[in-house]
Amino acid sequence: MKKARIIYNPTSGKELIKRFLPDILDELESLGYETSAFATTADKNSAYEEAKRVGLLEFDLIVAAGGDGTISEIVNGIAFLEKRPKLAIIPAGTTNDYARALKIPRTNPLKAIRVLQKNQTVKMDIGKANEKYFINIAAGGGLTELTFEVPSKVKKTLGYLAYLAKGAEMLPRIKPVNLRITYNEGVYEGETSMFFVGLTNSAGGFETIAPGAKLDDGNFSLLIVKRANIFEILSILAKALNGGKHVNDPKVIYTKTSNIKLETINHKERLMINLDGEYGGDAPVQFQNLHQHLEFFVDLNLINDGVLLDYQEKKKEYEEVVNKYVHELEAVIQEGLDDDDMVGPHNY
């Protein structure tokens, strides 16, 4: 049998995963996986260490059950391996940006795990920032620092409202940082209010931050907000929420690139880097897109055909496999009917 390991955060999502765990185990067993489970602990590297251990043992599948932070830890535990397990997601966090991008059901753990029944996968790009990995977004400057300042208990209780409240509180004291950002098509030098390096189109519960982002094309969506005052930042945020129109703002640079080098021009100036909502070190940092590096289970029928490089080809490929299976099954059934006249048409 194939081997699967569920790595779950027992405190995520009002402890929803624990209640559904027996049913999730049954579902995976029915799909041919010899399955075991591991509950993460308060140790900061709990999910990372378990994913690394399971990856080195060459398990076939890791089910990441928790929020974006749990998924990111698990990815960091296996991304450096030459042979990496496939991944499935059971979302149970506050915003579940990554599950949102992959259209994984976010309200019912059983529906999320049943995505595996279709046996459809996508090879996803991930990012590497110096020696760390991220799956969704890297950011720095201004409002991005609020992630570090919202207490975890408040995040859990109020969810995204906590970020909005903290963001409003921080706006008056946002100061730009003098940066040099080198990317495929050029170099930007100047005072910067914030920057985003995105792998999906979903950030903070919204799907318009990186319009046109693809999940598997080998490119980041790089968004740079030049020096801006409070009112200009509010205007840019409003445009972002209004169909992604912020990319046309004169204060914004928006481009696609596979590599980025970011450094402060004044080396005494500190810039903290946010990787998937957690502190990921300070600048300088080299971002590298690892093209189609990890394979995730998805439901292709739910994914918008604009976010995958070869969506139509993948869908056609799976449809051909299904049709071939159906024809072969019909032939076997017909052969059985021909061999045994006693078998009626409704008995197979």
In this predicted model, what pLDDT tens digit does every residue of 186-207 receive, in sequence order? Answer: 999 999 988 999 998 777 656 6
Q: Among 247, 263, 290, identify where a domain stops.
A: 290
| Across 119-146, average pLDDT | 88
DSSP bridge partners of 181: 188, 262
Residues 27 and 63 in one domain: yes
**Overall number of domains in the chain:** 2
Which is catalytic among the residues 191, 232, 263, 278? 278
- Rounded to a whole number of angstroms, the CA Rg of the chain reads 23
Total residues belonging to the chain: 348
Q: Does residue 45 carry a pLDDT above 80?
A: yes
Residues 80 and 140 in one domain: no
Residue 235 in contact with residue 171, Cβ under 8 Å?
Answer: no
Residues 177 and 285 in one domain: yes
Residue 54 in contact with residue 5, Cβ under 8 Å?
Answer: yes
Can you give the pTM of this predicted structure?
Answer: 0.81
pLDDT band at residue 347, thresholds of 50, 70 and 90?
very low
Residues 23 and 108 in one domain: yes
Q: What pLDDT does residue 323 have?
A: 54
Q: Which residues of 78-96 are buried (b: 16+ CB within 10 A; e: fewer)?
A: bbeeeebbbbbbbbbbbbb
| Any domain includes 42 | yes
pLDDT band at residue 269, thresholds of 50, 70 and 90?
confident
| Any domain includes 323 | no
| Any domain includes 48 | yes
- Separation in Å, CA 337 to CA 23, 185, 296, 324, 331: 37, 65, 40, 20, 10
Within 10 angstroms of residue 54's Cβ, the number of other Cβ atoms is 23
| Any domain includes 105 | yes
Task: Choose among 48, 11, 21, 200: nearest CA to 113.
Answer: 21
| Any domain includes 220 | yes
Residues 31 and 70 in one domain: yes
Q: What pLDDT does residue 172 have?
A: 60
| Across 231-248, average pLDDT | 81
Residues 201 and 277 in one domain: yes
pLDDT band at residue 346, thresholds of 50, 70 and 90?
very low
Distance CA 258, CA 332 (A): 49
Distance CA 347, CA 59 (A): 39
DSSP bridge partners of 287: 129, 260
Q: Does residue 155 carry a pLDDT above 80?
A: no
Q: What pLDDT does residue 337 have?
A: 52
| Any domain includes 327 | no
Q: What pLDDT does residue 49 have?
A: 98
> What percentage of the chain carries pLDDT values higher than 90?
51
Residues 62 and 198 in one domain: no
CATH number at residue 72: 3.40.50.10330
Q: Among 253, 275, 290, identify where a domain stops.
A: 290
* Tokens found for residue 284: 């300088």
Residues 201 and 242 in one domain: yes
- Separation in Å, CA 126 to CA 134, 220, 290: 6, 9, 5
Within 10 angstroms of residue 16's Cβ, the number of other Cβ atoms is 18
Residue 268 in contact with residue 92, Cβ under 8 Å?
Answer: no
Residues 13 and 110 in one domain: yes
- Separation in Å, CA 202 to CA 194, 206, 242: 17, 5, 14
Residues 179 and 284 in one domain: yes
| Any domain includes 308 | no
Distance CA 190, CA 226 (A): 7
| Any domain includes 282 | yes
Domain of residue 267, residue span: 134-146+173-290
CATH number at residue 189: 2.60.200.40
* Known catalytic membership, residue 278: yes
